[in-house]
Amino acid sequence: MADRAAKLQKKAPDSVFMGTRVRVFSNVRRYLDLFLKLTPSLNKMRGPGDDTNNNNQSTTLSKLFNAKWHVFNFISYFLLFGCGLTVGVILSFHLKNISLDLHTQLSLTSRSSSPSLAMAPQQPSDSPVETISDDRAQYGLNDFLEPPEAMHGMDDPQLLWRASMIPRIAQYPFNRVPKVAFLFLTKGHVSLAPLWEKFFKGYKGMYSIYIHSNPSFNLSKAAEPQGSVFYGRRIPSKQVRWGHVNMIEAERRLLANALMDFSNQRFVLLSEACIPLFNFSTIYAYLMNSTQSYIEAYDKHSPVGRGRYNEKMSPHITIDEWRKGSQWFEMDRELALEVVSDQFYFPLFQSYCTNACYSDEHYLPTFVTMKFTPKNSNRTLTWVDWSRAGIHPVTYLRPLVTVEFLKALRHGSQCEYNGQSRNICYLFPRKFSTDSLIRLLTFAPKVMYFNK
């Protein structure tokens, strides 16, 4: 069927051309026949003479005139034939161009209107189907699950968007060991790193570490040694000022980086002055078995509580919904996703909780109380001493660090854990100075039962 259609297309222009040529020559022949019919009539218009004496002379002249008239007719026919031939040649070239255009149009029309004659699109030379390699063919789930390097090239909008993605299927289609993400918000290096090294020893694969420090420090030569658990764990960071809203931005940045590892299930914010009160297995079990998150939130009727509220936040956040609490949080993955995805309440804090508002003490307590009260314990796992007046808690220097002091921190409080009363309430006390490190390393095997 396709061959027949192609032949018809090929013959169509030639048929048009031949038909036009036949019509031209038919018209020329008709004009010549008409001219021949008119010639006798012209001869008859001359009429007979009245002078009988001149008959012979008239006959002679008539013969001579007829002879000349035949010569004239022959020349006229010849000229007319030449004109016709010239017109025919000119028309033939013109009709040849028309036939070529017509042939092209008919071909294009046939291809577009007839599915059977349409040409299949050619596969581009760089098509994945053609050039895919064996390595790419082996791309699997593990490649997708592999988290990016800590020091990546994403900016904040890209990072938050990437981290906010969640699977709609709750069951994981792979073997997963839930991990605790330790988020260190520091000025420079982790000053108590040797103590943390002992804490993490022997538990590789059960934790992740992320460090947000001053950008200038990230570029310095004071980075951690290659064998350290903190090596290569610094994330792209920005300048952070104490009490400023960019501290919340840094916390969200840490959470977002940790969320890109699908195995991270619990997230705890720490400073360089924090220490672990228990060994890794105890803290891991405490966090993984908890049914709640740990964000301190309370309503404080004072200048440092409700006195920091800005009425411009109303009606989205009212003064009765305003909360205060410690910035040092611990939360599960579900709540962490909500924090990095918040595009409504956080912009209000960026605009109206400035200067002496200290947004790091109000954003999470207010946001979580308004949206996720049942999932929150309303307490923090980070112990600090506010017994002395001032804007900063007590810093523990070397002489204050004793075995008795550490034991009191471990079991000296009562709180609720999964609906039951417990005497383990704090897991990460602060603020410990760098000069207390020697004593902490000495007492750790005796008090915290770290691995030797």
Q: How do the pLDDT tens digits run along the chain, 452 residues long?
A: 545 544 444 444 454 444 544 454 455 456 555 545 555 454 444 444 444 444 454 445 455 445 555 555 666 666 776 676 676 666 665 555 544 444 444 444 444 443 333 333 344 444 333 444 455 556 567 767 777 778 888 988 998 999 898 888 878 888 889 999 999 999 888 999 999 999 999 999 999 999 999 888 876 655 678 889 999 999 999 989 888 899 999 999 999 999 999 999 999 999 999 999 999 999 999 999 999 999 999 999 999 999 999 999 999 999 999 999 999 999 999 999 999 999 999 999 999 998 889 999 999 999 999 999 999 999 999 999 988 867 788 999 999 999 999 999 999 899 999 999 999 999 999 999 999 999 999 998 888 876 65
Q: What is the CA radius of gyration of the chain?
A: 49
Residue 5, H or E segment: helix 2-44
Backbone angles phi, psi at 304, to 5 degrees: -90, 5
Q: Could you report how far apart the first and last alpha carbons of the chain are, in Å?
A: 86
Residue 296: other Cβ atoms inside 10 A: 22
- Strands 179-185 vs 264-271: parallel, antiparallel or unpaired: parallel
Question: Among all chains, which residue has been given the structure tokens 């699908």?
Answer: 262
What are the residues whose beta carbons fall under 8 Å from the beta carbon of 322, sequence distance 6 or more?
299, 305, 306, 308, 309, 362, 366
Among candidate residues 245, 210, 246, 244, the one with its CA nearest the CA of residue 229: 210
What are the residues whose beta carbons fall under 8 Å from the beta carbon of 63, sequence distance 6 or more?
none
Q: How far apart are CA 251 and CA 339, in angstroms?
A: 10
Give residue 171's pLDDT: 81
Give residue 102's pLDDT: 44
DSSP 373-403: GGGB-S--S------SSSSS---B-GGG--H
What are the residues whose beta carbons fall under 8 Å from the beta carbon of 335, sequence distance 6 or more?
293, 368, 372, 375
Looking at beta carbons, which pairs linking 238-241 to residues 24 or more positions away fall under 8 Å? 239/214, 239/215, 240/185, 240/212, 240/214
Give residue 420's pLDDT: 95
Give residue 270's pLDDT: 98
